[in-house]
Chains A and B, each alone.
Chain A
Amino acid sequence: MTRPRCGLGRAPLLRYAAGDTPMWTSWLQAIIRKRPTPERRSSRPGPRQSDARRFEELPDSLTKLDESYHALLRELAKR
């Protein structure tokens, strides 16, 4: 990123203190321009994708639960 010119020969902080903020505005515009495009954004793992890795869905009925839950009930019966 090219550092914006503050111009007029005044130090940036002095201009900022005086309420004349073109330099900061330019920096903000530069940051906004660097936001990812929709294409770049879609190629990144978004919250939904990472969420799918962190959580698993249960089936929609008790009868469809896998063998580990059947074993759980059988083992609890022994106690």
Chain B
Amino acid sequence: MRFVDLPRCVSVVFPFIHAHLSAHEPAPPYDEETEGLKALDTVLTLAREDRYYPTFAAKAAYLFCALAGAQHFTNGNKRLAVGVLLLFLVLNRAKVRTLSIEQHRDLVARRFPDHQWEPNPSIPGAHALFLYNLAIIAGDRPRWGVGDFPALRGRVERLFGYVYKVNGFATDQAA
């Protein structure tokens, strides 16, 4: 398994996010926030720990939820979570289950029944829209609908285990 580290974030993920800003949106100052960078490094390091996160889906869910939900930086945390997750998927040649927008919506509704699915028409792809809604959930604690972070991460892990496949095996058959 290949992992995202801090140098890769600096050289790949931050530029990826900065290259796709909305109009008049200031670039999130990731490089300037020392404490945020330390926290990011800690998250990236912990994700490697097989004792805590033994599967690809568990690691992916931890990365995503820890970055979107913890607000390590003053701005751009949800985008950072998405960028790191996408790089983790790309590095490991993960495949994405072919699902319609409705199927993604139903998967999310099953795990997060309190979340009102946002069908943002500006996002054309089903998988991208799935990540958009998950980032909104993870980035806003009242939307979690579960008591604590491990419960949130566990639900996202089940979703990722169904949607992503690595090394020829989907890690879960039912989300």
Contacts and interface: CB of A to CB of B under 8 A. Distances in A.
Interface residues of A, number: 26
B148 interface: no
Contacts of A57: 93, 95-96
Interface stretch (A11-19, A30-38, A63-71): A63-71
Contact of B13 (A59, A62, A66): A62
A61 interface: yes
B78 A79 contact: yes
Number of contact residues on B: which range applies? 35 or more
Given A56-B98, A77-B25, A72 B93 contact: no
Contacts, number: 92
A73 B17 contact: yes
Contact of B90 (A54, A58, A68, A75): A58
Contacts of B120: 75
Given A62-B13, A72-B82, A54 B22 contact: no
23 contacts: A55-B96, A55-B165, A55-B170, A58-B89, A58-B96, A62-B12, A62-B13, A62-B90, A66-B125, A67-B125, A68-B125, A68-B129, A69-B125, A72-B82, A72-B125, A73-B16, A74-B20, A74-B22, A76-B78, A76-B82, A77-B21, A78-B22, A79-B139
